[in-house]
Amino acid sequence: MDSIQIRGLRVYAYHGVNPEEKEKGQPFVLDITLRTDLSRAGASDSLSDTLNYARVTKRAVQVMRQERVNLIERAATLVAEAILKDFPAQEVTVLLRKPRAPIAADFEDVAVEITRRRETA
């Protein structure tokens, strides 16, 4: 299956277990991989035959900012569910990184990666 990848999407949002995380917020970074058949778009060169990554990006940012949740697992799930609901991808993988997690250690980030597939009837 083909894929469209959105990498390094930076979003300032308000997720975390600690009250100050929900109050002050912090940066998050998303990598989103959409899996779908791109053969029609490759042949037609028409935006209507593909997933509009600008619209996907806008929706992901909106989801990250609309609700404050405790866990990045939940935030990643909300993003994946919204993308599958609003766009015709067969599968979406969301890697959500939290570079300023409240950990007393020298680290680059903490992250979760989830994959969700469209239900087939």
Q: Are strands 26-36 and 91-98 parallel, antiparallel or unpaired?
A: antiparallel
Max Cα–Cα distance, the chain, nearest Å: 52
- 58 in active site: no
Return the bridge partners of 31, or none. 95
C-alpha 6: how far from chain center: 9
Distance CA(15)–CA(27), nearest Å, equals 10
Catalytic positions = 98
